[in-house]
C-alpha cells in the first residue's frame, strides 16, 4: 500500500464506518438511504485505488445510480416518514443483536489478524498489459472460463425483471369509475360540495399556515392544508382563537373606542390629534 | 500498513450490515443492511484479487453486483406488494406464515 493509498484509507474508512453506523441508528429511512449512498460512493473510490477501475465505475453506476435510486423511489411510495416501531416483539432482541454484531467483529478481526498473507502481488502486470488492460483481462475471464456463469446470470436478470413486473402488476377487479359515478358518490357521501375555504389572511399573517375565520369568528381547520398540520407547521386554530379574543377585548376597551372609523363617531378632527398624542 | 487493512474494513462493514438486518424493523432498511453485507464481501474479493495478482476476484465481485441488482429488484417489488395490501413496511407485521 503506497502512501497515497494509506491517506485514502484513513480518510475514507472512518467516513464509511460512520455512514454504515448511520444505517443502524438513523431514525428516518431516508437518512439511512443517504448514509448507504455515502458508503457506496466511497467504495467506488476505494475500488479505483485497489486497481479495479472497471469495478469502481460499475459500483458508482449500478449501486449509487440504479440500486440507491430504486431504494429512494420505493421509500417515496411507501412513505418518507415511515419509521421503526420501538416495541420489541422478541424480548431482548436488540441486546442480543448488538452482542451478535460485536461478536462477529471480534471473530472476523481475530481471524484476519492471525492470517499470514505473504507478499501482495498486485495487479499492475495484468492492468498494464499492452493488449488487454484491466477491462480486457476481465472480459477474457468473463467470456472465457466464467462464460457459463455469465449466461446463467443473464437468465437470472430476465427472471428477476419478469418477477418484478408480475409482483408490481395489479389486475382491476371492478370497472374504472367514470366522472358521473365519481360525482354521484361524492354527493351520496356528503362531502363538501363547494371548494374548501382558503387560508386566513389577516393583518399580521397572510401565510397559508394560518386558518381562516368562519362567519361566526371561529377558525376553520379545513382552510389549512393537512400536510402542514401533519408536519406541525401550521399555526393552530386554538392559538388564533385566543389571539382573536385578545384583539376583540382591546377593541372593546375605552382606548379602542377612539379608533377612527370603527364606531363612526371618531372620524373627525379629534382622532388624528389623539393619535399624535399617543406617538409622543 | 498493508493490504489487510482493507480486509479489516470489510469485516467491520459486514458486521454492521448484519447488525442492521437484525436490529431494524423497517423492511427497506433491513434490505439496505443486506446490500451493505454484499458490498463488504465485494471489497474483500477485490482486495484478495490484488493480493493474489489474478483478476478472478474482480470477476466474482462483478457477479456479486449482478446478483445483488436482481435481488434488489425482486425484493423491493415484494416489499411494495406487502405494503399495498397491509399498509405497512415493518417486518413485524408479516408473520402470517407462522400459523
pLDDT tens digit string along A130-183?
778 889 999 999 999 999 999 999 999 999 999 999 988 888 888 888 999 988
Q: Which of residues 44-63 of B touch A (CB under 8 A)?
A: 46-47, 49-56, 58-59, 61-63
CB of B86 within 8 Å of a chain A CB? The answer is no
Contact A163 B51 (CB under 8 A): no
Q: Within its chain, how far is the Cα of A203 from the centroid? A: 36
Share of chain B above pLDDT 70, in %: 95
* pLDDT value of residue A269: 43
H or E element, residue B91: none
**pLDDT at B7 > cutoff 90:** yes
Q: Kindly write down the DSSP assignment for every residue of A64-101, as one continuous string.
A: IIIIHHHHHHHHHHH-TT-B-----SSTTHHHHHHHHH
**From the CA of A241, how many Å to the nearest CA of chain B?**
36
Contact A101 B73 (CB under 8 A): no
* pLDDT value of residue A263: 47
Give pLDDT tens digits for A84-132: 666 777 788 889 999 999 999 999 999 999 988 888 888 888 888 877 8
Among candidates A145, A164, A244, which has minimal Cα distance to A203? A244
A contacts of B51 (beta carbons < 8 Å): 117-118, 120-121
* pLDDT value of residue A169: 86
Among candidates B70, B14, B68, which has minimal Cα distance to A59? B68
Of A1, A29, A108, the CB nearest to B28: A29
H or E element, residue A10: helix A3-25
Do A244 and A213 meet the contact criterion of CB atoms below 8 Å apart?
Answer: yes
Give pLDDT tens digits for A207-252: 777 777 777 777 777 888 777 777 777 776 666 667 777 877 888 8
**From the CA of B85, how many Å to the nearest CA of chain A?**
11
How far is A204 from B47, CA to CA, in rounded Å?
Answer: 64
* pLDDT value of residue A201: 61
H or E element, residue A220: strand A219-220
Mean pLDDT of chain A: 81
User: Angle, to 10 degrees, between the axis of helix A68-78 and the axis of helix B56-86?
Assistant: 10
A contacts of B63 (beta carbons < 8 Å): 146, 149-150, 153
* pLDDT value of residue A82: 60
How far is A99 from A96, CA to CA, in rounded Å?
Answer: 5
Contact B74 A146 (CB under 8 A): no
Give pLDDT tens digits for A2-48: 788 899 999 999 999 999 999 999 888 889 999 999 999 999 999 99
B contacts of A168 (beta carbons < 8 Å): 77, 80-81
User: Angle, to 10 degrees, between the axis of helix B27-52 and the axis of helix B56-86?
Assistant: 180
Please tell me which residue of chain A has the smallest CA distance to B17. Answer: A20
Among candidates B82, B67, B9, B45, which has minimal Cα distance to A67? B67
CA distances from A217 to A141, A193, A214 (A): 79, 22, 5
Question: Other C-beta atoms within 10 Å of A77: how many?
Answer: 13
Q: Within its chain, how far is the Cα of A193 from the centroid? A: 35
Among candidates A244, A247, A187, which has minimal Cα distance to A218? A244
Contact B54 A126 (CB under 8 A): yes
Share of chain A above pLDDT 70, in %: 82
Query: Can you tell me the mean pLDDT for A173-195?
Result: 85
A212 - beta bridge partners?
A220
* pLDDT value of residue B67: 92
Residues 6+ positions from B3 with CB-CB distance below 8 Å: A1, A117, A120, B47, B50, B51
How far is A163 from A171, CA to CA, in rounded Å?
Answer: 15
* pLDDT value of residue A236: 63
Local structure of A213: helix, strand or coil: strand
How far is B17 from A64, CA to CA, in rounded Å?
Answer: 17
**pLDDT at A266 > cutoff 50:** no
Please tell me which residue of chain A has the smallest CA distance to B78. Answer: A167
Among A51, A167, A170, A173, the strongest candidate for a mutation testing the B interface, having the largest count of B CBs within 10 A, is A167
Amino acid at each position: 500500500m503506497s502512501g497515497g493509498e494509506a491517506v485514502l484509507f484513513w480518510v475514507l474508512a472512518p467516513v464509511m464506518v460512520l455512514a454504515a453506523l448511520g444505517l443502524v441508528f438513523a431514525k428516518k429511512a431516508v437518512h439511512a438511504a443517504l448514509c448507504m449512498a455515502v458508503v457506496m460512493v466511497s467504495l467506488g473510490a476505494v475500488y479505483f485505488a485497489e486497481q479495479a477501475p472497471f469495478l469502481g465505475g460499475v459500483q458508482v453506476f449500478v449501486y449509487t445510480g440504479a440500486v440507491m435510486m430504486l431504494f429512494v423511489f420505493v421509500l417515496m411510495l411507501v412513505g418518507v416518514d415511515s419509521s421503526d416501531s420501538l416495541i420489541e416483539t422478541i424480548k431482548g432482541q436488540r441486546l442480543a443483536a448488538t452482542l451478535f454484531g460485536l461478536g462477529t467483529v471480534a471473530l472476523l478481526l481475530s481471524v484476519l489478524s492471525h492470517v499470514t498473507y505473504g507478499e501482495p502481488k498486485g495487479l499492475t502486470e495484468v492492468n498494464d498489459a499492452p493488449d488487454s488492460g484491466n477491462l480486457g483481462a476481465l472480459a477474457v475471464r468473463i467470456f472465457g472460463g466464467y462464460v457459463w456463469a455469465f449466461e446463467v446470470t443473464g437468465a437470472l436478470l430476465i427472471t428477476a425483471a419478469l418477477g418484478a413486473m408480475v409482483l408490481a402488476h395489479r389486475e382491476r377487479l371492478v370497472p374504472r369509475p367514470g366522472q358521473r359515478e365519481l360525482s354521484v358518490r361524492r354527493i351520496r357521501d356528503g362531502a363538501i360540495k363547494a371548494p374548501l375555504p382558503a387560508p386566513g389572511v389577516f393583518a399580521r399573517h397572510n401565510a397559508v399556515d394560518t386558518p381562516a375565520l368562519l362567519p361566526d369568528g371561529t377558525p376553520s381547520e379545513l382552510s389549512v392544508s393537512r400536510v402542514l398540520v401533519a408536519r406541525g407547521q401550521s399555526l393552530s386554530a386554538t392559538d388564533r382563537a385566543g389571539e382573536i379574543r385578545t384583539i376583540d377585548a382591546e377593541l372593546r376597551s375605552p382606548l379602542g373606542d377612539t379608533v377612527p372609523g370603527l364606531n363612526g363617531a371618531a372620524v373627525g378632527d379629534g382622532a388624528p390629534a389623539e393619535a399624535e398624542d399617543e406617538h409622543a | 500498513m498493508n493490504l489487510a487493512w482493507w480486509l479489516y474494513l470489510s469485516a467491520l462493514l459486514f458486521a454492521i450490515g448484519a447488525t442492521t438486518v437484525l436490529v431494524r424493523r423497517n423492511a427497506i432498511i433491513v434490505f439496505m443492511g443486506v446490500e451493505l453485507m454484499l458490498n463488504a464481501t465485494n471489497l474483500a474479493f477485490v482486495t484478495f484479487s490484488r493480493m493474489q495478482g489474478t483478476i478472478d476476484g474482480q470477476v466474482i465481485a462483478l457477479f456479486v453486483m449482478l446478483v445483488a441488482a436482481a435481488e434488489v429488484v425482486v425484493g423491493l417489488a415484494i416489499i411494495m406488494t406487502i405494503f399495498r395490501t397491509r399498509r405497512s413496511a415493518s417486518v413485524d407485521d408479516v408473520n402470517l406464515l407462522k400459523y
